[in-house]
Amino acid sequence: MVMDGSIQNTRRLHLVSTTHLRPWQIVDEMISVIYRYFYRKYVPSPYTQIENCMNEFFSMIPKENKCYLEVIRLSFLPELLVSLYLSPYQVDKVFAFGMIMHILKLSRIALAKDWRNECACLVLEFCKLLRRVSHEDSLYLSCRSALGLLLKNMDIASWLLYGEDTKGASCLMKEIFSFVGELGNRLCEDLASSTESPWSSGPFFGDVCDFKAFLLPLFIVIKRGPSSDPILNRDYVDAFGFLYATFSKLLRKMDECLLKMQSCFPLNTTWEDVTVWNGWFQHLAILEELHKISELYDVAEEELWMSLRQREFSLCVLLVKYLKPTDDIKWLLEHKNDYGFEFRRQLARQMIPKANEDFQRSLKIVIDKFLNMGAHVEGHQVLPNDLFSQLRVQEESAAGLKSYSTRYLTEKWFLSMCQAISIHKMPFLLHVQMILHDSILILKGFSTHTLLIYAAIKLENLHLEYFRLAGKLIALALIHQVRVGVVFDHVFFLQLAGKSISLEDIRDADPCLYSNCKQIMEMVSKPIVSDALELRFIGGAEYKRSAELCPDGKSIVVNGKNWKIFADLIIQHHFVTSISKQVSYFAQGLADVFGSSIADQGNQENQAKQCIYQIEQEIALLSQFNHPNIVQYYGTDKDETKLYIFLELVSNGSLTEIYSRYHLKDSQVAAYTRQILHGLKYLHEHNVIHRDIKCANILVNVGGTVKLADFGLAKVTEFNNLIKSCKGTPCWMAPEVVNLKRTGGYGLPADIWSLGCTVLEMLIRKPPYSHLEPAQVLYKIGRGEPPPVPDFLSGLSQDFILQCLQVNPDDRPTAAQLLDHPFVKRSSHA
């Protein structure tokens, strides 16, 4: 036994299977290389040898065979690599770290294959071994996250019954318990620290993602219910009790956290004015998981919502500050009636698309429309005389629009306008209301008006324009957060979104119609008299009119077989067909301000999905790259609302942090530059432009190895194909990027210009053009003026920088050519 590395020099034979003869040979070769490497025997390119073996091994995995990866587990290769990772020598640790991370990368390929279960078992083996090192070890955390990602994308039910071995499934469940317990404890500790100071980090995003992933198997087991198999039934009982205990502990800690949050706010503080702390970012995500757990237990759901009702202010702060339009809020909407108006208003605002127009321009549009309508309807008489006069005078003045944005004027004007609509003082509304019970706007409640559109007996074009005006007013009131005493009825939201409307949807909107439809349902077993049915839907109006609900509807008799269809047709006619124009014009008014209607959100979601797909394709390409000077991308994952990108952890920070702490010598800058060039050369050979090379995007690991990172702006191109979009960070952008007219686009040489700026940045310890304003920087770069290179720099460094900063892209050397520059070559001999 070698004590330093805990590696035993066994001479056992590994070739024990004829079914997988070549895989056993490959694993034996890897083990042989590791032993020789550890005993410091000469091994040419050991890292590359093992990497190639692993690539070959994983490329040979058969589609159907479920025992292929058992070859690695039975060979004790995981134990060997972890033992090497525990070596006190840094070179051994780095070597093992790279090998294990490469296995994790290859296991990611399983997401698109049929052998995810086996990969999950292999990654689980590494997790169990590394957990003995430390729960905080970076490699262990990477393995745990990789396992969580596999769990989210695989058939968990079959994995828990992997190989139909119930004892094996039970062992897997115990491991899941340990992960959930570990993450639950971690989240509790971080929740407690999140309220200690505004700078506390709080729960980490990665821990929350892992917690969500490892909860999935527990959900599966509990929802499956008790089993006749004693082992599986014990798993169910254990999971049921364990998950509730985890829920209770986490809920208590969250309740304490929300209570402390409330004490952090001064009295009479509004939600919008609250200064948030760094550690609160993941609180909503944790609450969502607690809600999912609570749905499995009757008592747990009541406990959760009772706690949240007591902490309504803190919950509203989280909604205002952290809830994004893309977040799933269904779990909050289910209990919206348990909270006050302000809470519901914040939820409603999340469902409204953001405005893409200038507020002042929107106000002017509405005011112009209102003033122009004065020629047709004396509607302005319902507004206070002084306010209307002020609006007319300011609308005519050149500088008057600026005063519209003042809080006093907007609130008073919006409130008066919306009241003029909602209290039926405008003549056309008053006219319709007096003639028909089927009014256009119905008021309910005391202090708040519910907006709901019904059919009018006679619809004029001017009436439709008022609907559009009303839509603009409501939209602008939402943007300016002005309370106008009007809220949308649930049915009205469905109308705007173009959704179907059910009987239960109209319970509150039209109690009379709801009651009549319910009575029809009760008449199923009785003969239905058509005259009685006809009168039933006249309601309180003093007129009778008929409408054909479907083609040839007059010849169809309503009976016990088609009464449901009849009721649905009545509802659709009453709430959809007969008012389609009104709803359309109102929705157009909203869209005039917001830039899109509520119904358009589905199209925007499709565009977002397409964008996410493109990102996934690009990351999938980047994850195939493997170079010591490029941060390793492991791929992507997504749920209903988020896209996650998984990449290598580099813990020592960026070159910006390094040159801020230390004054780098020429030789050190040259060494870093040489590694950057190796990474760029690799990217450019694969036709990838980084497009954002700068010190902040270049990381350095504990061994001093440079890693190119932040490929958010990276673009894959083909030779002779120029990119025609302006991307990058201004101070490091090439002239052809800023001014696309110079060459009609840009290519790989744009990275070389950025490299020259980066080398200059390291030597002068500040960004290039730092003496200029951003607009001046873009102007000078667009004209082809490179940043000034100080005379105090060495001759070699100046020459290297100036070669990179050639204005003509064709004059710049390639990354491969720059590797032969004397400034860089001397670092390789240092």
Q: Using the predicted structure, report yes or no on whether residue 803 has a pLDDT greater than 90.
A: yes
Tell me: do 539 and 474 sit in the same domain.
no
Domain stop point among 464, 479, 497: 497
Domain membership of residue 685 (yes or no) is yes
Give dist(CA 237, CA 227) in Å, integer. 10
Mean pLDDT value of segment 567-592: 75
Burial class from Cβ neighbours inside 10 Å (0-12, 13-18, 19+) for residue 768 reads buried
Domain membership of residue 137 (yes or no) is yes
The pLDDT of residue 363: 47
Strand partners, 698: 708
Give dist(CA 485, CA 471) in Å, integer. 15
Domain membership of residue 589 (yes or no) is no
CATH code for the domain in which residue 730 is found:
1.10.510.10
Higher pLDDT, 465 or 403: 465
Tell me: do 309 and 376 sit in the same domain.
no
Burial class from Cβ neighbours inside 10 Å (0-12, 13-18, 19+) for residue 427 reads middle
Tell me: do 555 and 677 sit in the same domain.
no
Tell me: do 491 and 448 sit in the same domain.
yes
Domain membership of residue 816 (yes or no) is yes
Tell me: do 489 and 528 sit in the same domain.
no
The pLDDT of residue 114: 62
Q: Where in the sequence is the domain holding 66, given as residue range(s)?
A: 1-154
Q: What does DSSP say about strands 688-689 and 698-700: parallel, antiparallel, or unpaired? A: unpaired
Tell me: do 378 and 315 sit in the same domain.
no
How many domains are there within the chain? Answer: 6
Reference 266, options 199, 313, 321, 197; nearest CA is 313
Tell me: do 172 and 317 sit in the same domain.
yes
Tell me: do 510 and 475 sit in the same domain.
no
What backbone phi and psi angles, to 5 degrees, belong to 239?
-65, -40
pLDDT digits (tens, 9 = 90+) for 234-256: 777 888 888 899 999 999 999 99
Average pLDDT, the chain: 72
Q: Using the predicted structure, report yes or no on whether residue 358 has a pLDDT greater than 60.
A: no
Q: Using the predicted structure, report yes or no on whether residue 540 has a pLDDT greater than 50.
A: no
Tell me: do 174 and 83 sit in the same domain.
no
Of 17-31, 407-421, 651-665, 709-723, the poorest mean pLDDT is in: 709-723
Tell me: do 715 and 619 sit in the same domain.
no
Domain stop point among 120, 137, 154: 154
pTM of the model: 0.49
Domain membership of residue 262 (yes or no) is yes
Mean pLDDT value of segment 774-792: 83
Domain membership of residue 338 (yes or no) is no
Domain membership of residue 330 (yes or no) is no
What backbone phi and psi angles, to 5 degrees, belong to 440?
-80, -40
Give dist(CA 828, CA 697) in Å, integer. 23
Q: Which residues make Cβ contacts (< 8 Å) with residue 26, sequence separation at least 6?
A: 53, 56, 57
Q: Using the predicted structure, report yes or no on whether residue 643 has a pLDDT greater than 80.
A: no
Task: Identify the top-confidence range among 42-46, 208-212, 572-576.
Answer: 208-212
The pLDDT of residue 95: 87
Higher pLDDT, 259 or 359: 259
Percentage of the chain exceeding pLDDT 70: 62
Mean pLDDT value of segment 335-359: 61
Reference 767, options 733, 813, 798; nearest CA is 733
Domain stop point among 123, 154, 185: 154
Domain membership of residue 76 (yes or no) is yes
Tell me: do 639 and 662 sit in the same domain.
no
The pLDDT of residue 184: 92
Tell me: do 437 and 525 sit in the same domain.
no
pLDDT digits (tens, 9 = 90+) for 544-569: 455 555 655 555 655 556 667 777 77
Residue position matching structure tokens 């005389």: 385
